[in-house]
Structure formats: C-alpha cells, structure tokens
Amino acid sequence: MKKLAVVALGGNALLRDNQSGTIDEQEQNTTDTLENLIFLIREGYDLVITHGNGPQVGNILMRNDSGEQTYGIPQMPLDICVADSQGGIGYMIERMMRNVLLKHGIKKEIVTLVTAVVVEETDPAFQNPTKRVGKVYDREQADQLAKAKGWTFKEEIKVAGGWRRAVPSPVPKQIINEKVIEYLAHQGVITIAVGGGGIPVYYDADGKVRAAEAVIDKDLASGLLAARIGADEFYILTDVPFIYRNFKKPDQEILEFLDYADAKRYLEAGEFGEGSMAPKINACLKFIEHGGQKAVITEAFKLEDKSYGSKITKIYDPGDKEKGERRKMKIKD
C-alpha cells in the first residue's frame, strides 16, 4: 500500500497579509502552493489536503452583517458560514489542483468533501469564548450587539479601541465521514476535507447531530484526521521554514529534529507562541500519540527541499541529532 500523507495548508497558502483578497490573488497563491505537493505525488504518496478559512469565513460573517443591516436578509449561523467557506475554498483548491496536475501530465481524481467535526457540548471552551471572528466594532456597537444577539465580545488586539465577536474553539473529537475520506485517499483520489477545522457539531441526548456556534482549530482537526485515517505522515505548511525556540529573540534556536518527549517538554514549558506555533506542535503530538510516524512543520515553498522543515517523530531516527547539529552550523555559516 502507498504511503498516505495529510497536508494542512496554512492561511498564507491562500491569502497573504499584504493582499486585499481578490479571487485572482487567492487562486494564484493556491496554485503556487499546490505546485509544492507535486513531488509527494511523484514519490507515490496518496494525499489528503486540509486548509484554513480564517480570512474567508470572517468576510462571510461581515457580508452577513451588511446584508442584515442593508437589506434585512436574515443572518446565517456560524456553522453555515463555515460550511460556505469550506465549499468555496475546497472548490478553488480542487480546480487549481486539476490545472497543476494537467501542467505536470499527472492523471488523478480529486474530490472536495464538506466535512463536519464532532465536539463535546460540555467542552470548557463553550464557557470561555476566545476565538475572535468577523468585523471590528467600537465599544457602543459591540454592547448593542451583545444585548441583541447574546454574543460575547473581546477587545481586538490589533485595533486600538476595537471589539470583535469571540466564539468558542472546542477540541475536535471525531471526524464525520472519516472512513469515506480514508477509502477515497487509498484509492488514489486526492481528497480535500476538514476545511477550516471542519463544521463544529455535537450529538444531543437523542443522538441527533446539532450545530455548535464555534470554530475548530484547523491544525488540531487535521492532526486528528491524519491519526484516525492511519496517515503515515502529517505536514503543516506555514510561513516559517522551521520550529524555533525563543522565536525572533537574540538567542533564537532552530529545532529541526524533535522526538515526542522533547517536543512535549518544550510545549509545556511555554517555548512556543500560544497564538501561532503552540497549536501546531500540539496537533503534531496528537498525531504521533495515535500512531503517526512523522509530522513536519515547514514553509509552504520549502516542502520539497528536505534541508528545511522541522520533523517530529516518536523517537529520534539514528543520526538525526548529528544531522541537526550539522544543519545548524551550515545555516549559521
């Protein structure tokens, strides 16, 4: 059987910080990123692709606001907005991937699955919403919306005097249709799933599937999917080529090879940013815990170059520490 890899595309794979977010920009960014997956296909891997949706679902929520205020169109709940973003982004990735495969003369089927992910209704995150979504309001507007809709608001870190809606971010527990995803992937179908962390749902006392007003961390959901479908390798593509200790500090250190124990120790010691690298490390650890062989965090455009990327395995491969030390010396030189 071929090796199976789950590749999680970070937000910068679709939209750069300095861009306005036009469809032309997003399609070009997506194409550039997908070009880097060709080598995995040529090396015989079956692929599942996951992706973020932060800017896109935020824009959908703002259109929700505008439509209600301007035209009286009823707002859609957050789960529907996540589903909308999954379908739109998945379609874009699928179409761009078909064109990339055509360019390289590769024939493969591709499918996008709008994916629901199960969370627990009792997850503590529902009592402490922390994930900021949607439009930035002033304090008066935020207070009015909190009263009218029962929303929770928190100060926006990047905008002085701004407030944004905060929603729960519960831990993913199960991927609905995970067996379908596994089957398709092992049939050689490039499968796009768990977009934006998946649509958050829970089972009620009668076993019915209910929607949750929440968002799920994309990397955690992707790592869970990778573990549950028996993937051999899990890749998180981001905007930095390595995991670092003391990131952007004078004593910054590249961590290229990590075993499970060291990665967990660094995570628990607070070595990684809570809003950036820590969730990615946690997702990789969960994958390794459930039998995954190797997790890699690297820059999207460095994926094929194996001299880049931080690798997390259950135990060190022989020589990894020595290779890591040699690489550090090379980079310093």
37-52 pLDDT per residue, tens: 999 999 999 999 999 9
Q: Which amino acid belongs to residue 331? A: I
Confirm whether 248 is a catalytic residue.
no
In CATH, what number does 4-119+171-332 get? 3.40.1160.10
In the sheet with 116-118, reading across from the earlier edge strand, the strands are 174-175, 116-118, 199-203, 209-211
The catalytically annotated residue of 52, 58, 223, 280 is: 280
Confirm whether 90 is a catalytic residue.
no
Helix and strand numbers (H, E) in the chain are 10, 17
The catalytically annotated residue of 36, 64, 90, 218 is: 218
Average pLDDT, the chain: 91
Q: Which amino acid belongs to residue 76? A: M
Average pLDDT over residues 155-176: 92
**Residue 1 pLDDT:** 64
**Residue 321 pLDDT:** 53
- When mean pLDDT is compared across 160-174, 243-257, 265-279, 312-326, the lowest value belongs to 312-326
The ranges assigned to domains in the chain are 4-119+171-332, 129-167
The catalytically annotated residue of 10, 12, 52, 292 is: 12
The catalytically annotated residue of 11, 67, 162, 188 is: 11
pLDDT-derived band at 317, boundaries 50, 70, 90 = low
Confirm whether 131 is a catalytic residue.
yes
Predicted confidence (pLDDT) at residue 167 exceeds the cutoff of 90: yes
- Please give the structure tokens belonging to residue 136: 């930035």
**Residue 237 pLDDT:** 93
pLDDT-derived band at 330, boundaries 50, 70, 90 = very low
- Please give the structure tokens belonging to residue 107: 């024939």
Average pLDDT over residues 228-252: 90
Distance CA 119, CA 136 (A): 27
Predicted confidence (pLDDT) at residue 25 exceeds the cutoff of 70: yes
Residues 6+ positions from 88 with CB-CB distance below 8 Å: 56
- Please give the structure tokens belonging to residue 299: 């820059």
The catalytically annotated residue of 58, 64, 88, 131 is: 131
Pairing of strands 199-203, 209-211: antiparallel
CA-CA-CA-CA dihedral for 199, 204, 208, 214, to nearest 10: -10
Query: Is the backbone of residue 30 left (phi > 0), alpha (psi -120 to 50) or beta?
Result: alpha
Confirm whether 107 is a catalytic residue.
no
Distance CA 176, CA 198 (A): 9
Task: Tell which wins on pLDDT, 164 or 327.
Answer: 164
Distance CA 314, CA 327 (A): 21
- When mean pLDDT is compared across 140-144, 223-227, 262-266, 324-328, the lowest value belongs to 324-328
Name the H helices within the chain.
23-34, 38-42, 54-71, 78-103, 139-149, 178-186, 218-228, 260-268, 277-289, 320-332
What single-letter DSSP state applies at residue 151? Answer: -
Confirm whether 218 is a catalytic residue.
yes
